[in-house]
Chain A
């Protein structure tokens, strides 16, 4: 039997437990390419979240009308519609940001995070749950991209969101704005997250064992 999720769990699972970046490893292309600075990361994550929420809402509403054979194509059409909206709005209102993100805004269409949530969640659940799930995933994505962008911006140009944090004596690490810096930072963050998860699991197992030992000792 499948585990029953409450609404809160649907919302919160994207934050950490099923974080799109650190746990599901989805949407790597924008993650690695645009996180040169924290602001780029935030803009990318907000654009993706908007598309994700709108597409999840629409697809969960029409999920019973879509034939299974053509569902992927239908998802893409819906997603592409919202991506076009985001792209045009960004070009009109934030031309600088739009230029900085370059082709990665149109590429949200093929972001596997967006498509993955439609396939795995929105096409099987009601609109309320789907929107909560999409919001949670979007916030998880935002947090991950912000952390990644901040670390890279901090080490490559001493600033976070344009405010200088490190003193001038710090020599900037040029590698951090290169692709290699993105891979290194992401890898180390994922490793830390996994290490933490493993430690928690081990502690939990140890706690169960301790309790077991105590009960057997007292019953003997």
Chain B
């Protein structure tokens, strides 16, 4: 029967064999993604309040391009479409929140296409990406349009057209910003990163419902205090204080929403501590000694690259095995 060779077996994937324990979890990818979306609402609202409602177009452009790219690539690769599960929406959304207010819409679109195309689908799609896709998109934009990416519009309640971010002001002009505006968000910076209050509200919600593991943000906070304090004590005027580290720049946005990405963070508890401490060490080093005022994006991307190694060395011992 020669025809048999040409037929592909039809029942191959019908039966899934897995070992016990068989636990059922009512979390699905779309549900988790929409929950993260809900947690992003406060800081999105803060962005629209402080930088004007027109910033919504940056958000919409980014999300639309991200979802469009995902759908297009999956059509080309003949994969089952996952454009509707919210992960691409979230990538676009997070990317938009890391962009400066008033950023060009065309460039935003390019960033979203790079984020989903090169950050995610080059590696095989959702679950396979080594790096956080939104940050890959942002890193590309930072390299492609360095001037536009560091031009900060002032928030609505400050009487200037452009202003430096608190970290930039400290680094280049030795001007320390007061902490209260940094906490509430009335200061220069990327769309989603200025209001610590709104970010904390969303982040605590995510930790409470169990989407974000508290260990990574905790490790990063401890790391910023541990690594930031000695440097600060060396020269109180010149270097940012630990609290400044926490509230300034993208620290909270990164700690709560970027570093905790399920795909690109470690799976073991010990690994999460190492990952978080590593990020804050790199951030402090870049902010204090580097040429750039802010290093959250590079810190997370660098530690993303270490995740496979961290997972390998923190693998729990098999029960009963001899060390």
Contact = CB atoms under 8 A, between A and B. Distances in A.
Interface stretch (B127-135, B141-149, B193-201, B215-223): B141-149
B6 A174 contact: no
B143 A171 contact: no
B144 A175 contact: yes
A25 interface: no
A162 interface: no
A178 B144 CA distance: 9
Contacts of A173: 110, 144-145
B122 A191 contact: yes
Contacts of A191: 122
Contacts of B6: 209, 212-213
Interface residues of B, number: 15
B118 A171 contact: no
Contact of B3 (A181, A187, A216): A216
Nearest to B2: A216
A181 B143 CA distance: 9
A70 to B, nearest CB: 42
B122 A180 contact: no
A193 interface: no
Interface in B84-121: 104, 106-107, 110, 118
Interface residues of A, number: 15
B294 to A, nearest CB: 18
A181 B144 CA distance: 9
B146 to A, nearest CB: 6
B108 to A, nearest CB: 12
**In the complex, which of the residues B110, B122, B144, B148 has the most CB atoms of chain A within 10 Å of its own CB atom?**
B144
Interface in A162-190: 171, 173-176, 178, 180-181, 184, 187
A87 to B, nearest CB: 33
A213 B144 contact: no
A176 B110 CA distance: 14
A173 B106 CA distance: 12
Interface string B159-188: 000000000000000000000000000000
Given A171-B104, A174-B143, A187-B122, 8 more contacts: A171-B107, A173-B145, A175-B140, A175-B143, A178-B143, A180-B143, A184-B118, A212-B2
27 contacts: A171-B104, A171-B106, A171-B107, A171-B145, A171-B148, A173-B110, A173-B144, A174-B143, A174-B144, A174-B145, A174-B146, A175-B140, A175-B144, A176-B144, A178-B143, A180-B143, A181-B143, A184-B118, A187-B122, A191-B122, A209-B6, A212-B2, A212-B6, A213-B3, A213-B6, A216-B2, A216-B3
